[in-house]
Chains A and B, each alone.
Chain A
């Protein structure tokens, strides 16, 4: 603590009686986390940057060469653009629609659940929260079976109800595969949004609604002019972080469609491949580590920009105390 000169009273500076090593103690508490982070996160990031500037692939595994920005050039303007551009477009579409769909479904259900005359709401809430409780990987794999053209029970139900023409090529038609990915992502994602909206709804002062009611506002108007603006401003940072999560939501796509169905003329990117699953395939199936690492770095810049925007909006940096 500094004594302000203007204070006039001269207080002797408090001499610390603690030994010198006491200052190091907090870092001891941090050391397990910091050590693992340094080993498994910071060091690999450095190595990713190195690999991204080399022609590391299966052919020159023994002696990769430094090739400067060649990988990035190939992705952004070169031979891979034909694959990356549509994958980028779909990544944006998926992240935007996936986030908005889950949020709107969650929001609507939360508003419905908070109807004061609905006495059995807790039962519905208990059921609706279930997809959140499931392990996501298992659930998405299960959906890939349910939507299977041959043995999937969704088509089984449809054909039983509406005849054999009602079967839908859920995962084999490029457009329907995208719809399926969004449907499953919404199914898995809305309970989280619903819970948060329920919490936010409870923080809206009831006086607002009472005043609106006195003024004769219908519940429809109350929703548009009170509930929605307050919930949206509360949820904006959350929506951005969900967006950047979905941007790299590998599992939601790869475990459902494997990135497919394949598109004629494209090697790496199928109809539903996100950039992250293209990067995965470059590593896992095509052994193009240099290109994969370069794609990772591009993804980092996109998601990093989004996160900074989110921190700014939610005032996280200011509030770090």
Chain B
């Protein structure tokens, strides 16, 4: 225990932009040592509760389809056949292709839509600016999925059922929440940069493309990620508006494995889930810093 108490313990504390440090440069008193170990115990239990289900899925993905699940974490017999089957015998790759196409188009258009609007709201002055900002907030109260019955009937009439274009149209729609987050981010960029550029004769649009966009790169990446993950998570609308297996995107597609209540499908689902999640989780963790700070900024208004 003595070894744990040697160094001073520093907890960085951020207050109103200035960084302060809460220094605890003393040995923990006996009751604090007890507290520390109780803290550790609770955190270990919490970590186990997070990791165990993930390990179960990974383990199932490497287990032969007819194996009996005993709650063991080691896949016996070990096999890669689930991954092979998912890739060759199911429509997984079709769903992945559909999802990635819709996701990339959605992400690109969303980023353009959001950054243009956010720039206008943050830096330009115009008559309907306040009305527009509040209007966006109010619009957010009527989420798209509430329109499902109407969208279904409309898509039926427009012949957009079973079409990725239809789903794409819904997904690229300007997103009020994203615009607010992005506006908050641009508000935080120093306006002096804009002014300096304008003194040098830059137009508003040049300020946008040469100053605001490069400085917003991390936030743009977050917005792109949100749009992509949004397509991977989409189920409610696409399960109604898309019906043939060849046009499905990931959510309704993966559900096909689960609906058939056989353990053989479960191991294949696990493989598909791992294949789908790993790249998205990696991307998320890479951008984590900006996601957390962006949300915190949005919450402050």
Contact = CB atoms under 8 A, between A and B. Distances in A.
A289 B47 contact: no
A31 to B, nearest CB: 8
Interface of A: 23, 25-27, 29-30, 32-34, 36-37, 39-42, 44-45, 47-48, 50-51, 56, 105, 108-109, 112-119, 124, 127-139, 141-146, 148, 150-161, 187, 195-196, 199, 202-206, 209, 219, 237-238, 248, 250-251, 254-255, 276, 279-280, 282-284, 289-290, 292-293, 296-297, 299-300, 303-304, 307, 311, 314-317, 319-320
Interface stretch (B13-21, B81-89, B189-197, B216-224): B13-21
A317 B134 contact: yes
B276 A202 contact: no
A320 B138 CA distance: 13
A25 B102 CA distance: 30
Given A26-B126, A135-B233, A142-B273, A41 B50 contact: no
A195 B112 CA distance: 28
Interface in B33-72: 35-36, 39-40, 42-43, 46-47, 49-51, 53-54, 56-57, 59-60, 69-72
A290 B236 CA distance: 18
B43 A196 contact: no
A237 B32 contact: no
A133 B266 contact: no
B233 A117 contact: no
A262 to B, nearest CB: 16
Contacts of A152: 69
Given A29-B117, A202-B14, A283-B152, A296 B270 contact: no
A44 B150 contact: yes
B198 interface: no
A137 B237 CA distance: 13
Question: Which of B14, B262, B284, B301 is packed against the most chain A CB atoms within 10 Å?
Answer: B301
Contact of A118 (B39, B126, B254): B39
A30 B229 contact: no
Given A47-B154, A206-B20, A284-B240, A32 B112 contact: yes
Interface of B: 4-5, 9-15, 20, 22, 24, 28, 32, 35-36, 39-40, 42-43, 46-47, 49-51, 53-54, 56-57, 59-60, 69-72, 109, 112-114, 116-117, 119-120, 124-130, 132-134, 137, 139-154, 169-170, 172-174, 179, 204, 208, 229, 232-236, 239-240, 250-251, 254-255, 258, 261-263, 266, 269-270, 273, 276-277, 280-281, 284-285, 288, 292, 295-296, 299, 301
B240 to A, nearest CB: 5
B254 to A, nearest CB: 6
Contact of A137 (B59, B134, B251, B263): B251
22 contacts: A26-B120, A27-B128, A39-B169, A41-B173, A56-B153, A117-B9, A118-B39, A124-B46, A130-B54, A136-B233, A142-B53, A142-B273, A151-B263, A153-B71, A159-B71, A195-B295, A196-B295, A203-B15, A255-B235, A289-B152, A297-B146, A300-B141
Contacts of A29: 116-117, 119-120, 124, 208
B26 to A, nearest CB: 10
Given A137-B235, A199-B292, A280-B236, 16 more contacts: A25-B204, A34-B174, A41-B139, A48-B149, A118-B40, A130-B50, A133-B281, A138-B232, A139-B277, A160-B70, A160-B72, A196-B295, A205-B20, A206-B13, A276-B145, A320-B130
Per DSSP, chain B at the interface is: helix
A42 B151 CA distance: 12
A109 B49 CA distance: 13
Given A30-B116, A296-B148, A133 B285 contact: yes
B113 A36 contact: yes
Contacts of A146: 53, 56-57
Contacts of B35: 115, 219
Contacts of A139: 277
Contacts of B284: 132-133
Given A130-B281, A320-B130, A33 B117 contact: yes
Contacts of A108: 42
Given A127-B50, A316-B137, A316-B301, A283 B172 contact: no
Contacts of B152: 283, 289
B276 A138 contact: yes
